[in-house]
Structure formats: structure tokens, C-alpha cells
């Protein structure tokens, strides 16, 4: 896949690729691994009766080129998978980073280093059974906030977290190891459908806030008004105090345009030239500069994720955090949630216990946390319905109404140097097309992630990599009406999603707007991430806009799952407006699962505001 051109090392001959990828894959659960193996096998035998790996290098490159030019969707999906995995292994080699010039050093604008976070206490369960007032499952945006508020109200709280505790002293330096350590299933949670859409989620103390980009938005007023009117969330339009409190605690500040980096500045200039509204993004990372390492854990903990903010606060107020504890079931007595059972023990980076033979996890011990007052579930929009389904609680709507903000990466080549990694990863937003349900954000992803999406194969793909310093990129996010479902298949999590034609049309419109911004800022060509289009020149835009693309033709990713235990009246949802689960007493939810519809902006702050409101009311009623 990477033959080595113009000083770039050749894969395997000069730098190992398959070995680090194999090591990364070994950390995944066998269930995920089986699916990857099937895909790779299909790729290997595509040139039947020959095998891809046995072809001569020139024949391999020729075959890859034909795959790229094919009009068959599955060909592109297989090619993309092969490019993503090979780039993941290749782009992290120091020799490659040195040649492309992508070394990054995160720091604060004033050169200082943030104070270390307060300690999290002893996180190993001291015994197989513990008792408290409230058990909280999950320590991400929803769980951490709930823990802090309940503990400070004097309740005895235990937080159960499936992942481990990490901070700047312990995030793995190697990006592949970081992904295996900090994400559920190595970031390979995928919503099945056409197209299949990767939906990575965090699995660590602090949840997805450990690996997110730090972008902070309040939910748009019209969305909150709809939630009040259609779904009965009476307080949804009354969250100013909760938002302000969180913004203060997380030091949310807008990115300084002077220091946002060229990628954001180009988006800003392009949007201004078109008269499109937008602004510097507000973030919970103070005035950090120079990076694009956010998805691997912030190396200086400038990003104020839950593990360095609300959780230490909860611990200081007496909460107990239990890490590497996977909750399997919520138990009830006479319709009331009374305990959470699961197992505990570190058994390698982030392996999900489901879909594995029990003989492969001898190190795990049974664990139960009993709750005198109640149970709160905040496992995220995938983990929460999974736990409710395993427990047989919440009714027939559990797992339905999954929204994800499908997103498309629209790259562009500039004749000037962009060096997107020398700047804040997500820096400038454009909300001009909010009425079309679109939000555009200047987003630059590290080469290990972004490299797989660069155009070309073989030599051409390598030249695209060498050109990475001239690439700018904008993420197009859709507030989706399409929906999906989280369910269990053979006991393991299954996520499906069906992108409607109407939403595919909106995304295509958004891609065209991102292209327009790029061209207005001086880009020479744009990569819309649609295989049959390849590259766009400025004059191609009108033809692009008059073409209708099927949902399956779009290459998408999604970072914001929500809605799978939504607040809605009885038979349309899972929770009441106070976060309580229909049909079960003393059971509440405080995470992204609650959202009645797609929120339309990056969701962390709205999750925090919701958790703050629900936990505050819960503390009052328990007190
Ligand atoms: C790469 C990336 C970038 C993002 N960037 C942004 C951004 O810039 N701004 C923004 O607003 N949003 C961003 N997001 C999304 C945002 O971080 C999430 O929406 C938010 O963290 C979700 O909060 P949550 O409480 O619902 O779940 P999470 O934060 O995901 O926390 C859930 C936790 O529960 C644990 N858990 C689940 N099930 C169990 C179980 N059975 N037992 C024990 N523990 C369990 C999980 O391990 C996890 O740690 C990003 C997401 C990704 C993946
Ligand atoms: S928040 Fe992200 S960009 Fe800022 S210093 Fe941390 S990792 Fe780097």
C-alpha cells in the first residue's frame, strides 16, 4: 500500500506496519476482530484467483487504482478499510512523521503548564460487594457531573467505570496504543448500514471527554424550545444558569483567531468572503495552541475533561470511583432499582467482555454495588441502552431513536502551506446553514486518522501524504432526522443506522458549501469524500450540486451518538423529563441518551447542563 516515494519510507521494508496494527488489533474483542478479519479476507481475495498480498508491487498498485476507479460501493468500502488500517500503522512511524513534518507539541499560549488534577482516590474495588446511597454507571460528561452534584449534596456515591484512569502522566505516547486504551473497541464501534458509519466512543475515566476536541456549544434555542413543546421537557429553555456554571468550571473560552492555526484562519477567510456567519469556537482548553493530539488524550491536560474537573470534585466530596468495572445488570426489587452487578479487574486495554469466551478473562472478579437510594445510568448513548437491554428495563423504546450527527470530512489542497497540525484541532465554526440543519467546523485530524481519507492509492496516496502540509479541512455535521438503533445480538452490542435520502441530500449540500468556502479561501482543489467524484475543481461545483448521491455513496463518520433512552411521553420514549426511567423506580439516566432529537451542535455542554439539572433535582428529592 505504501511503496515509498520521495524520501517517505516504504511500508514493511523500511518501517513496520503490519506488526503495530496486529498488536493494536490484538487488544480488541474477538467479536470486533472477527468482522475485521472477514473484511481483510475479502480484500485479500478480491483479485481472485490471485491473492492481493502475493501480487507483484506494480500489479498491486494497478489493482488498487482499479478499485478506486470502480463504481461499485463495496469495492470502495474495502479499499477504504485497507487504507485506514495501513495508514494507521504507517503514519505513526517516527520516520514518516519526520518526513511529513507532523511532529506536534501541545502547549498553552503563555507557555505555562496547567496544575495537575486532584487525585481520584483508590479506584480498585476493596471487596466483591459495596454499599452506598447512589450507584452511577459511567464517568463521562453525564456521570461525572451527576457524581459531583450528588456527592456535594451529601450523598454517598459510587461511580463504576469500565475503562481505566489516565491523565497526562499516563496517556500512551503511541497513538495506536492510546486508541486501544482510551476508546471502546479501539474506536471501531461502527453503525451498520449503507453507508456503514464509524461512531467511536471513549472508554476511560472521564468517558469520551478524555478524547474529544474540547468544542463547547450551548444547544440552539429552537432545539430546546422543541424539546419543551413536543417532548414535555419544561425546563429545557431554562438552562442558562447550568450552562454558565459549566462554562465557568471548565474555563470555556473562544479560540484566539491569531493563534487558531492556518486551517481555521482559512475557513474564517473563506466564510467571510462568502458572507457566511460563524465565529471562533469556544473550548474548554483555555488558550492551548499547536496540537491536534486531542483524540489521544491531551498531553498537558489543558483540555478540562471530566477526569480532571468534575470527578476530582466528586472524590473530594467523598464519592468512590471504581475503575475497570463493567456493569452487566441493574437488579430491581419490587420494581425499584437496588443494585448493579458486573465484574472488575484490568484485563488488557479496553477489551469489552461481551462476545468473548469466559476462559479468556480469568482475571475478572464478580462485583456488586448496592444502592440505598437509587441507580443512575450514564454509560453514553451506546452503553446506557446496552445496560438497560441486558437488565430488561426501560421498555420497548430502549435503543431506538439513535441520532449521531453524521459528519463528512471535506479536505482541500492549498498552494500555500497550511500545516493544520500547528493549530487548534477544531477552531472555527460556520452556522450560516443552520436552517438546512448543517454546522461546519474547521477540523484538522492527525495524519494517522486523516491520512486514510487522502485521495489516491499507492504512489499517489503517498504523494498526497507528503502534501499533507498543504491540506485544509472542514467537517460538515448534520443535525440528523435519520435514525438508528442500539440492540443486542448474541449478547453483544449492535448498532445500526439508516441514512435517509433527504439527509444525504442535506449532507451533499453541506459538502458543496464547505467546498465553496475552501475555494473562496484559495484552495486549488477539493476532496468531497465521494468516490465517484474524486476531486473537485472550482468549475465542477455546479455539476456536483446538480448530481444526486445515494446515501451509500457518502463516506461518513459520527462522534455524537444520542437519543437512545430519550425523554418522551410513556410509549414514545424511555425517560420522563426528570430523567427517571418509565416503569422502574429509583432509576435515572443523565447522559446523551436522554436527548429527544438530534441537538444539532457538539453535545458535551448540553449533556452537562442536562445532568446538572437532573442531578440537582435528584439531590433535593433524596435529601
Ligand atoms: C473523537 C471525538 C471528538 C469529540 N469532540 C467533541 C467536542 O469537541 N465537543 C463536544 O461537545 N462533543 C464532542 N464529542 C462528543 C462528546 O465527547 C460526547 O458526546 C460526550 O462525552 C458524551 O457524554 P456521555 O456522558 O453521554 O458519555 P461518555 O462521555 O461517552 O461516557 C460514558 C462512560 O460510561 C462508561 N460505560 C459505558 N457502559 C458502561 C458499563 N456497562 N459499565 C461501566 N462503565 C460503562 C464508558 O466506558 C464511558 O467512559 C466528541 C466525541 C469523539 C468520539
Ligand atoms: S486540548 Fe488538544 S490541542 Fe489543546 S493542548 Fe490539549 S491536545 Fe493539544
Domains of the chain with bracketed CATH: 1-100 (no CATH), 129-183+206-214+217-251+295-397+568-622 (3.50.50.60), 254-283+407-479+500-555 (3.30.410)
Residue (of 346, 495, 537, 512) closest to 440 by Cα position: 512
3-state SS, 305-336, equals CHHHCHHHHHHHCCCEEECCEEEEEEEEECCE
Q: Which contacts qualify for 243-246: CB closer than 8 Å, 24 or more apart?
A: 243/218, 243/605, 243/609, 245/612, 246/145, 246/605, 246/608, 246/609, 246/612
Mutate to test the pocket of ligand 1, among 202, 250, 325, 561 (most ligand atoms within 8 A of CB): 202
Q: What is the pLDDT of residue 73?
A: 77
Predicted confidence (pLDDT) at residue 30 exceeds the cutoff of 90: no
Gap from CA of 583 to ligand 1 centroid (Å): 26
Pick from 146-160, 268-282, 451-465, 556-570: least confident: 451-465
**Cβ neighbours of 496 (radius 10 Å):** 17
Whether residue 360 is predicted with pLDDT greater than 70 in this model: the reply is: no
pLDDT score, position 359: 39
Who lines ligand 2 at CB under 6 A? 106, 214, 285, 288, 291, 293-294, 298, 300, 302-303, 424-425
Catalogue the active-site residues: 560
pLDDT at 518 over 70: yes
| 348 has a pLDDT exceeding 70 | no
Mean pLDDT over residues 250-268, rounded? 94
Percent of the chain exceeding pLDDT 70 equals: 97
Give the closest ligand to the alpha carbon of residue 105.
Answer: 2
Residue 436, classed as helix, strand or coil, is helix
Look-up of cell digits 476530582 = 312
> In the structure, what pLDDT confidence band is assigned to residue 571 with cuts at 50, 70 and 90?
confident
Question: 383 in ligand 1 pocket by Cβ < 6 Å?
Answer: yes
Query: E strands along 113-252, which residues?
Result: 129-137, 157-160, 190-191, 197-198
State the cell numbers at 148.
459531583
Give the separation between CA 413 and CA 419, rounded to whole angstroms.
11
Asked whether the predicted pLDDT for residue 148 surpasses 90, the reply is yes
Q: What is the distance in A from the centroid of ligand 2 to the CA of 489?
A: 38
Q: CA-CA distance, 195 to 611, in Å (whole number)?
A: 32
Residue 366 has pLDDT above 90, yes or no: yes
Confidence category of residue 355, pLDDT binned at 50, 70, 90: very low
Q: What per-residue string of b and e applies to 111-147 under the rule 16 or more CB within 10 Å gives b? A: eeebeebeebbebebeeeebebbbbbbbbbbbbbbbb
Mean pLDDT score, 14-28 = 87
CA distances (Å), 279 to each of 217, 265, 269, 276, 430, in order? Answer: 12, 11, 11, 10, 7
**Most trustworthy range by pLDDT among 26-30, 257-261, 354-358, 510-514:** 510-514
Sequence-ordered strand ranges (E) for 345-432: 365-377, 407-414, 426-430
What was the pLDDT predicted at 512?
98
Pairwise pLDDT comparison (109 vs 210), residue with the higher score: 210
287 Cα: distance to centroid of ligand 2 (angstroms): 9
Of these ranges, 6-10, 13-17, 272-276, 567-571, the one predicted with the greatest mean pLDDT is 272-276
501 vs 268, 392, 480, 506, 551, CA distance in Å?
30, 34, 11, 9, 6
Nearest CA to ligand 2 atom 1: 303
Ligand 1 in reach of 208 Cβ (< 6 A)? yes
State if residue 419 touches ligand 1 by the CB under 6 angstroms criterion. Answer: no
Position 23 confidence tier, pLDDT thresholds 50, 70, 90: confident
Measured from the CA of 590, which atom of ligand 1 is nearest? 25
Residue 367 has what pLDDT? 97
pLDDT greater than 80 at residue 8: yes
| 36-76 pLDDT, tens digit each | 889 889 999 999 899 998 999 889 989 998 888 887 878 88
Q: Is 28 helix (H, G, I), strand (E, B) or coil?
A: coil
> Is the pLDDT confidence value at 558 over 70?
yes
Per the CB < 8 A criterion, the answer to whether 605 and 239 are in contact is no
CA 286 – CA 110 distance, rounded (Å): 10
Give me the mean pLDDT over the 370-376 stretch.
98
What pLDDT does 347 receive? 58
**Which of 166, 184, 186, 379 is the best mutation target for the ligand 1 pocket, counting ligand atoms within 8 Å of the beta carbon and taking the most?**
379
Angle, vertex CA 38, rays to CA 33 and CA 39, nearest 5: 100
Rounded to whole angstroms, the Cα distance separating 525 from 515 reads 9
- Pick the atom of ligand 2 nearest to 301's CA: 6
- What values do phi and psi take at 413, rounded to 5? -100, 130
Name the closest ligand to CA 146: 1
- With a 6 Å cutoff on the Cβ, whether 209 touches ligand 1 is yes
Across 607-617, average pLDDT: 98
Amino acid at each position: 500500500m505504501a511503496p515509498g516515494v520521495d524520501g517517505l519510507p516504504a511500508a514493511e521494508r523500511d518501517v513496520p506496519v503490519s506488526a503495530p496494527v496486529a498488536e493494536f488489533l490484538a487488544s480488541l474483542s474477538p467479536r470486533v476482530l472477527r468482522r475485521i478479519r472477514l473484511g481483510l479476507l475479502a480484500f485479500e481475495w478480491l483479485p481472485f484467483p490471485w491473492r492481493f498480498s502475493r501480487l507483484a508491487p506494480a500489479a498491486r498498485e494497478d489493482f488498487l487504482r482499479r478499485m478506486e476507479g470502480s463504481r461499485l460501493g463495496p469495492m470502495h468500502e474495502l479499499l477504504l478499510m485497507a487504507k485506514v488500517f495501513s495508514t494507521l500503522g504507517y503514519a505513526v512511524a517516527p520516520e514518516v512523521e519526520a518526513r511529513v513534518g507532523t511532529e506536534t507539541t501541545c502547549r498553552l499560549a503563555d507557555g505555562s503548564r496547567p496544575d495537575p488534577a486532584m487525585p481520584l482516590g483508590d479506584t480498585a474495588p476493596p471487596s466483591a460487594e459495596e454499599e452506598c446511597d447512589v450507584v452511577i454507571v459511567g464517568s463521562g460528561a453525564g456521570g461525572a457531573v451527576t457524581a459531583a452534584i450528588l456527592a456535594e449534596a451529601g450523598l454517598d456515591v459510587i461511580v463504576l467505570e469500565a475503562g481505566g484512569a489516565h491523565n497526562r502522566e499516563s496517556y500512551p505516547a503511541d497513538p495506536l496504543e492510546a486508541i486501544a486504551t482510551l476508546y471502546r473497541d479501539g474506536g471501531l464501534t461502527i453503525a451498520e448500514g449503507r453507508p456503514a458509519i464509524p461512531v467511536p466512543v471513549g472508554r476511560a475515566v472521564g468517558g469520551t471527554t478524555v478524547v474529544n476536541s474540547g468544542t463547547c456549544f450551548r444547544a440552539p434555542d429552537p432545539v430546546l424550545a422543541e424539546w419543551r413543546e413536543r417532548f414535555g421537557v419544561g425546563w429545557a429553555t431554562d438552562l442558562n444558569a447550568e450552562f454558565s456554571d459549566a462554562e465557568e468550571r471548565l474555563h470555556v473560552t473562544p479560540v484566539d483567531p491569531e493563534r487558531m492555526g492556518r486551517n481555521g484562519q482559512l475557513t474564517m477567510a473563506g466564510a467571510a468572503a462568502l458572507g457566511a456567519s460563524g465565529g471562533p469556537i469556544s473550548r474548554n482548553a483555555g488558550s492551548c495552541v499547536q496540537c491536534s493530539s486531542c483524540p489521544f488524550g491531551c498531553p498537558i491536560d489543558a483540555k478540562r475533561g471530566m477526569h480532571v474537573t468534575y470527578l476530582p470534585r466528586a472524590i473530594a466530596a467523598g464519592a468512590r470511583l471504581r475503575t475497570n468495572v463493567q456493569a452487566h445488570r441493574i437488579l430491581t426489587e419490587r420494581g425499584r432499582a437496588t443494585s448493579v452487578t458486573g465484574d472488575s479487574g484490568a484485563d488488557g486495554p479496553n477489551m469489552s467482555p461481551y462476545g468473548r469466551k469466559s476462559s479468556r478473562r480469568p482475571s475478572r472478579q464478580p462485583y456488586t454495588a448496592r444502592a440505598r437510594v437509587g441507580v443512575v445510568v450514564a454509560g453514553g448513548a451506546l452503553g446506557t441502552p446496552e445496560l438497560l437491554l441486558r437488565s430488561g428495563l426501560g421498555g420497548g423504546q430502549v435503543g431506538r431513536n439513535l441520532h449521531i450527527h453524521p459528519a463528512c470530512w471535506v479536505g482541500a489542497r492549498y498552494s500555500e502551506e497550511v500545516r493544520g497540525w500547528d493549530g487548534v484541532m477544531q477552531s472555527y465554526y460556520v452556522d450560516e446553514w443552520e436552517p438546512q440543519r448543517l454546522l461546519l467546523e474547521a477540523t484538522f485530524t492527525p495524519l494517522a486518522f486523516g491520512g486514510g481519507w487522502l485521495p489516491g492509492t499507492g504512489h499517489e496516496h503517498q504523494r498526497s501524504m507528503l502534501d499533507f502540509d498543504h491540506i485544509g479541512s472542514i467537517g460538515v455535521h448534520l443535525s440528523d432526522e435519520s435514525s438508528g438503533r442500539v440492540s443486542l445480538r448474541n449478547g453483544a452490542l449492535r448498532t445500526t443506522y439508516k441514512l435517509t435520502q433527504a439527509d444525504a441530500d442535506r449532507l451533499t449540500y453541506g459538502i458543496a458549501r464547505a467546498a465553496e468556502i475552501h475555494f473562496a479561501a484559495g484552495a486549488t482543489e477539493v476532496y468531497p469524500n465521494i468516490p465517484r467524484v474524486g476531486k473537485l475543481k472550482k468549475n465542477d461545483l455546479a455539476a456536483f450540486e446538480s448530481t444526486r448521491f445515494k446515501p451509500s455513496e457518502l463516506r461518513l463518520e459520527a462522534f455524537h451518538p444520542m437519543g437512545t433512552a430519550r425523554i418522551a411521553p410513556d410509549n414514545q420514549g424511555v425517560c420522563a423529563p426528570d430523567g427517571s426511567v418509565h416503569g422502574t423506580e429509583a432509576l435515572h439516566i443523565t447522559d446523551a441518551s436522554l436527548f429527544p432529537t438530534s441537538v444539532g451542535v457538539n453535545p458535551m455542554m448540553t449533556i452537562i447542563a442536562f445532568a446538572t439539572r437532573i442531578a440537582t433535582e435528584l439531590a433535593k428529592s433524596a435529601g
